[in-house]
Amino acid sequence: MMKNTHRAFRWPQPLEGQQARIWYGGDYNPDQWPEEVWDEDIRLMTKAGVNVVSVAIFSWAKIEPQEGVYDFDWLDRVIDKLGKAGIAVDLASATASPPMWLTQKYPEVLWRDEYGHVCWPGAREHWRPTSPIFREYALNLCRKMAEHYKDNPYVIAWHVSNEYGCHNRFDYSDDAMHAFQRWCEERYGTIDAVNEAWGTAFWAQRMNDFSEIIPPRFIGEGNFMNPGKLLDFKRFSSDALKAFYVDERDVLAEITPDRPLTTNFMVSAGGTGLDYDDWGYEVDFVSNDHYFTPGESHFDELAYSASLVDGIARKNPWWLMEHSTGAVNWRPINYRKEPGQLVRDSLAHLAMGADAICYFQWRQSKAGAEKYHTAMVPHAGEDSQDFRDVCELGADLALLGEQGLLGTRLAQSRVAVVFDYESQWATEHTATPTQQVRHWTEPLAWFRAFADNGVTADVVPIRGDWDSYEAAVLPSVYLLDEANSQRVRDYVAKGGKLFATYYTGISDERDHIWLGGYPGSIRDVVGVRIEEFAPMGDDFPGALDHLDLDNGTVAHDFADVITSTADSATVLSRFKAEPWTGMDGAPAIVANRYGEGATVYVGCRLGRDGLASALPAMCGSIGFDLPQGDGRIMRIERVSDDAGFEFLFNRSRERVTVEVDGEPLVASLGRVEDGRAVLDPNGVVVIKR
Ligand code: GAL
């Protein structure tokens, strides 16, 4: 369960005799290749400026080919070659994917789905975190790895397992059941407290004893799981994997206390499997894997996700552990990256606070399920555009490092957009006002709308310091417990500028509704009272599918029926609808004064475009000055006491020209002429100030 303090931040140090540089490299799977290829790899790594690789992530079956029989020779040889060439190693615990001998001997380590089906070996991550047997074997391997490599001068960090929960997030086995029972006992103390939290005085769900708690296994199509139980099962599942990670970490840390540790998260706008903000308390440095979303949101989603990672890292440097040079292999259609995007995407992560830029993977596989996943060295080899781009990026990173980028941090924005994993989990329940609305899309829409108005917001986890910003957005933050409701109250009372939307402050941490009219926990702060929701859709002929607002924007999917506003409130915008809807003239956007501060409540889903066009008036009403920037350009700044770097990205499909102050250190599909940056689509320039 939750901790109050983060583990001390520790960053991997350069190899002896080397200067600190921006780390650059990728996952390296030498075990997929004959040894002759390794020398060629090192030649190309050196050419590209690669200075770190992550090794042995999926190598358990090669390191321990039979139970208790270890083969480190190949790994020693490759680490030695790398290190001697000046390439550091981020060494995996190698525990992500167990070998066949283990699962054949102990099939009870395999996880089970909600129907009780076994997840068989054949891919990876087919283990359950609550298995005592798997724990014993994995911790044993961690111990062997740590003992073997504890004095190796080339190993600069531990890469513990890999993307926990990517495939084994939910396990419904009996091991999981018993662990879930213990977790509930720890959280609630008594079974009565669980009954109260889950609201089991309903459908005969009351339990007499912790042994009556079962995971949310299959309950029949079209039936509805107890929401409190489901929410807690998501918390438990994140915690069970975290506990497993912590055990692996502690074995490694005990033997090699001088090596910083991390495990790669999967933070993206819609990637909400584990509570990564909670996990962030348990790593020495945060690392993330991010894969681009094809299409029009590509850049914005990336910038948003990277900003959230920076928030999880509490503005300490973080490590981009994986992204792709081009197409991935796991979508139904695997779009390529457009020219310029390889360099641009990496620089965007860098701008958002990453001090390490790494890819999955170094050399594209020629066999196996990832043979169509692009890599730094593609199938075409050295003579390829991707490899030339990889070399260009390596040179850019080296230059930015020399020029002092290390040591700078992402500058704090004026605006915090709050993100909350648990609100996402609660809104995923299948018995809600509408299945069209979940938490995660709303923070992304606000981030984009602010960007359209020239403001690059910070995405801040709810446990973070969003209440230290000039303005904060609570975008469909559905769960607000007592403590967070009080934070909101204090923030605005002391002068904060708050934007809050529909579906915020609806329930407490148990998903019990705050009564008396929505948003029950902060009604006084935002000055509105809502008696009912008006979801919208087009699944029935003639159903209400949108609502126009008198400011020219249009709401889809969701509107609040605001029945009264506080005396201190001003209606900024009303619905304009036919009388039969009952919504004509009803308040849609409401400003309020509370204490020293002010709020704007947006009682409907406007989407990115609607928010972008409504923002100037909303900001005006709350006293937040929008800059006079060109929203087609995203400006991101990294600063320290004595240095500043400005990154300018073209978010649009057109060539854009903007005034700049300074000469570019790095430019891709962009240039600076006579004090003006000219940026093509996917273009970027980096300027030192
Ligand atoms: C990640 C994983 C890598 C690789 C990559 C492909 O989820 O950690 O090992 O599979 O995806 O995109």
- Verify that 643 and 525 share a domain, yes or no: no
- On whether residue 649 sits in a domain, the answer given is yes
CATH code at position 684: 2.60.40.1180
- Residue whose Cα lies nearest atom 12 of ligand 1: it is 328
- Verify that 430 and 485 share a domain, yes or no: yes
- Verify that 641 and 492 share a domain, yes or no: no
CA distance 348 to 243: 32
CA distance 500 to 492: 12
CATH code at position 480: 3.40.50.880
CA distance 317 to 305: 15
Residue to mutate, 27, 360, 364, ligand 1, most ligand atoms under 8 Å from C-beta? 360
In which residue are the tokens 């002929």 written?
541
Is the shortest distance between the CB of 328 and ligand 1 below 6 Å? yes
Tokens matching residue 46: 């050196």
**Model pLDDT, residue 689:** 87
Q: 426 CA distance to ligand 1 centroid (A)?
A: 27
Q: 287 CA distance to ligand 1 centroid (A)?
A: 14
> Which residue from 396, 395, 392, 394 is spatially nearest to 384, judged by alpha carbons?
392
- Verify that 666 and 569 share a domain, yes or no: no
CA distance 601 to 209: 44
- Verify that 513 and 430 share a domain, yes or no: yes
- Verify that 611 and 639 share a domain, yes or no: no
- 442 noted as active-site residue: no
**Residues 81 and 117 sit within 8 Å (Cβ to Cβ):** no
In which residue are the tokens 């599942």 written?
237
Integer CA distances (angstroms), 618 to 204, 449, 524, 602, 614, in order: 48, 12, 19, 9, 6
- Verify that 433 and 577 share a domain, yes or no: yes
- Report how far apart the first and last C-alpha atoms of the chain are (Å, whole number): 44
Q: In terms of C-beta density within 10 A (0-12 exposed, 13-18 middle, 19 or more buried), how is residue 661 classed?
A: exposed
pLDDT tens by residue, 260-284: 999 999 999 999 999 999 999 999 9
Is the shortest distance between the CB of 289 and ligand 1 below 6 Å? yes
- On whether residue 679 sits in a domain, the answer given is yes
List of residues 6+ apart from 579 with CB closer than 8 A: none
From 586, 621, 656, the end of a domain falls on 621
Which of 125, 248, 322, 442 is catalytic? The answer is 322
Whether residue 535 has a cis bond before it, omega within 30° of 0: no
- On whether residue 516 sits in a domain, the answer given is yes
What beta strand segments (E) does 399-522 contain? 409-410, 415-419, 458-461, 471-474, 497-501
- On whether residue 36 sits in a domain, the answer given is no
CA distance 53 to 485: 44
User: Any bridge partners for residue 289, and if so which?
Assistant: 322
Q: 542 CA distance to ligand 1 centroid (A)?
A: 45
* Measured CA angle at 516 (ends 513, 517), to 5 deg: 80
From 594, 621, 648, the end of a domain falls on 621
From 581, 601, 621, the end of a domain falls on 621
**Residues 74 and 40 sit within 8 Å (Cβ to Cβ):** no
* 55 φ/ψ angles, rounded to the nearest 5 degrees: -125, 145
**Residues 172 and 116 sit within 8 Å (Cβ to Cβ):** yes
Number of domains in the chain: 2
- On whether residue 449 sits in a domain, the answer given is yes
- On whether residue 409 sits in a domain, the answer given is no
List of residues 6+ apart from 34 with CB closer than 8 A: none
**Model pLDDT, residue 2:** 62
Q: What is the mean pLDDT of the chain?
A: 97
- Verify that 466 and 520 share a domain, yes or no: yes
- 163 noted as active-site residue: yes
> Does residue 670 sit in helix, strand or coil?
strand
| DSSP assignment of 260-301 | -EE-EE--BTTB-SS-HHHHGGG-SS-EEE--PPPSTTHHHH
- On whether residue 161 sits in a domain, the answer given is no
Residues of the chain with pLDDT under 70: 1-3
Q: Which amino acid is at 53?
A: V
Cβ atoms < 10 Å from Cβ of 187: 15
**Residues 93 and 145 sit within 8 Å (Cβ to Cβ):** yes
Residues of the domain holding 598: 415-621
Q: 102 CA distance to ligand 1 centroid (A)?
A: 23
- Verify that 549 and 663 share a domain, yes or no: no
In which residue are the tokens 């960007």 written?
451
Q: 679 CA distance to ligand 1 centroid (A)?
A: 32
Is the shortest distance between the CB of 322 and ligand 1 below 6 Å? yes
DSSP 8-state symbol, 14: P
**Model pLDDT, residue 628:** 87
| DSSP assignment of 214-251 | -------TT----HHHHHHHHHHHHHHHHHHHHHHHHH
- Verify that 531 and 420 share a domain, yes or no: yes
- Verify that 427 and 481 share a domain, yes or no: yes
| DSSP assignment of 505-570 | S-B-TT-PBPPSSBSTTTHHHHTEEEEEEEE--SSSTT----EEETTS-EE-SEEEEEEEE-TTEE
pLDDT tens by residue, 643-674: 999 999 999 999 999 999 988 999 999 999 99
Integer CA distances (angstroms), 344 to 24, 350, 388, 408, 572, in order: 15, 10, 14, 19, 39
DSSP 8-state symbol, 94: S
- On whether residue 28 sits in a domain, the answer given is no
**Cα torsion at 650, 655, 661, 664 (round to 10°)?**
70
Torsional sign, CA 551, 553, 554, 555: negative
- Verify that 593 and 680 share a domain, yes or no: no
Which of 64, 125, 163, 422 is catalytic? The answer is 163
List of residues 6+ apart from 110 with CB closer than 8 A: 103, 118, 119, 120, 121, 126, 127, 128
